Structure 1
Amino acid sequence: MSNSKQKPAPPLVPPTTRSTASIAGASNVEKQAVTETFQSVSMDQLISELTKQRISIREDISALIQESIGPLQSSVNALRETVGSFQSRLTAMESLAGENFEKVIAAENTIKTLQTQNTSLLDRIEDLENRSRRANLRIVNVPEGIENGQDLVTFVAEMLLEMTGTEVFDKPPSLERAHRSPGQKPADGRKPRPFVVCFHRFQEKERLLRWARRHDMKYKGNPVRVYQDLSATLSRKRSSYNGIKQSLSDVNLVNESFFLNESFSFT
């Protein structure tokens, strides 16, 4: 007993050291199996975590998109309502424009008809006016005031007889009316107003007019001219030919009596 020695206790080995020692003492096949198990568990966890992260990110992005699209969607809806309102108004305007276009066409046709009728009526009125003047003559260049308060019908009849002698009238012609052309009395030295004379007999007017075309007439030393009394419109039409008349007269093709002839008409 005394010679026997007490053996010291074995040292404590940490568990990890033991596991490592056990793995180290295991075969290569066992080592590979353990390693694959650890790797398998790690990949499954990683995939699971990535899947969770992907779902979380998708949800966050979807929420952000919805939050951003909200005001834009409201604006789009308001714009859609505005466009719809404009489209309705445009349709109404197109309908109204179509109706107005038809009315404008009808108005234009009516205006054209009225213009044609108006032109025809004006021509007829002018013809009637000139027909009503057929017994009238205009006596030009008789001095103002030479009648000296006499009755104009008597004065003009005697003046015509004095100017023509007995070649046209054997007595003073019968006149219905005689008066100066309407208007203010001209100042001294200005052109006198013409006489407008209406003959009772159309034949006497025609005899005087034909005679006056071939003779120079004077009264109290003043040259006097006699013309057919025409409407202002017809006078303007005839005056538009003055240049032609002057050109023909300059080359001695015609004289003024040709244009005053009853058979030559500008109407």
Structure 2
Amino acid sequence: MEVEEGAQPSVIMAMEKVGAEVRVEETVVLDKGEKIKDQCPDSAVNSESQEEQSGETPPVTMVNNNHAPGISQSLRMEDGEGTARFSPMEEMITKLVEDIKNGFSVSEANQASIKEVCEILETKFDLLSKRTQFLEDTVESLKEDVVQIKQDLRELRACEQDLQDKLERLENAARRNHLRILNIQEGVEGNDIKSYFASLIKNSLQFEETEQDIAVDIQRIHRDPFRRYPGRKKPRKVLIHFLSYALKEKILLKALKQKTLRGNDFSFEVRSDLARSTLNKQ
């Protein structure tokens, strides 16, 4: 039995099985013929012997199976009147071929479905690849932006520190003629606060200048903060703004030398009025 090239293994095994069955069928037919010959009467035997002696045999024709072209061949027996008789083997082969064809149809449908699914997956994979590439590009761009932002932030911090230093210097320059007096009880100054502190400075520091000269050099004097908060026990500090920087420095130096200054019945301190940032550094 010939096998077409490219046939699947299942088809080849089926064809080999069919070929084996055909050979078995031929053997069975021959055996049946011999048995029939043994059971025939003498006249039939003699007639058959005459036919054998004359060399004539019943015609046996090999025909192609139109139902399964290219796969296998089956036997078709003809009787004396020329009537064709198909064996059950031919029907079995035809059914087997039809099953194989149906299997091929199902396999082709499955292949088409698998191909469609593969195309869908390929499309989704391409879309995911594009999205991944877009995200990678975005991340790279963001990394560059972060580096630039960090550089700008360092520059801004340096600029901020420079501005804070300048502001501190300007604030201290604006306070250069100021003195801060601490621990002066509330209300002891009376109504004339300028004359009271001019007398306090002259008497406690033993100044050569008169009280009038000191009072004239005081431009502004007040307590800080302006408002007295309820429940506050500690007295507010007194800020004095002098017109002369030299007089302010002279008073400050004498106060630092004596360390402890005393009034009538209390002690107080004299300090420079500096910016809060400068005081925090000290």
- TM-score category of the 2 structures, normalised to the smaller one: 0.5 to 0.7
2:149 matched residue in structure 1: 107
2:28 matched residue in structure 1: none
Instruction: Give the TM-score, by structure 1 length.
Output: 0.66
1:206 matched residue in structure 2: 249
CA contact (8 A) 1:181 1:193 kept: yes
2:48 matched residue in structure 1: 19
2:228 matched residue in structure 1: 185
Shift of 1:235: 1.1
Residue 235 of structure 2 is aligned to residue 195 of structure 1? no
Q: For 1:111, give the aligned amino acid.
A: L
Once residues 279 and 118 of structure 2 are traced to their aligned partners in structure 1, the CA distance between those partners, rounded to angstroms, is 75
Once residues 154 and 65 of structure 1 are traced to their aligned partners in structure 2, the CA distance between those partners, rounded to angstroms, is 116
Deviations 1:136-176 (A, max 9, x none): 111000111222232x334322321232233x534442112
Shift of 1:177: 1.7
- Using a 3 Å threshold, how does the CA distance of structure 1 residues 188 and 105 change in structure 2: closer, same or farther? closer
After superposition, residues 251-262 of structure 1 pair within 5 angstroms as none
Q: Choose the corresponding residue for 1:136, options 175, 178, 183.
A: 178
Name stretches of at least 5 consecutive residues in structure 1 with no aligned partner: 1-10, 239-267
1:169 matched residue in structure 2: 209
- Using a 3 Å threshold, how does the CA distance of structure 1 residues 17 and 63 change in structure 2: closer, same or farther? farther
Q: Percent identity?
A: 19
CA contact (8 A) 1:156 1:178 kept: no
Q: Choose the corresponding residue for 1:79, options 121, 139, 163.
A: 121
CA contact (8 A) 1:153 1:176 kept: no
Q: Could you tell which deviates more after superposition, 155-164 or 109-118?
A: 155-164
CA contact (8 A) 1:130 1:231 kept: yes
Once residues 207 and 135 of structure 1 are traced to their aligned partners in structure 2, the CA distance between those partners, rounded to angstroms, is 11
Residue 263 of structure 2 is aligned to residue 219 of structure 1? yes
SS of 2:184 mapped into structure 1: coil
Task: Let me know the Cα RMSD of the aligned residues.
Answer: 3.6
Q: For 1:185, give the aligned amino acid.
A: R
Q: Could you tell which deviates more after superposition, 132-141 or 183-192?
A: 183-192
Higher relative contact order (CA 8 A, sep 6+): 1
Shift of 1:180: 0.7
Residue 140 of structure 2 is aligned to residue 98 of structure 1? yes
Q: For 2:130, give the aligned amino acid.
A: S
CA contact (8 A) 1:163 1:218 kept: yes
Shift of 1:65: 1.3
Higher strand share: 2
Instruction: Give the TM-score, by structure 2 length.
Output: 0.63
Name stretches of at least 5 consecutive residues in structure 2 with no aligned partner: 1-40, 63-70, 75-89
Once residues 189 and 182 of structure 1 are traced to their aligned partners in structure 2, the CA distance between those partners, rounded to angstroms, is 12
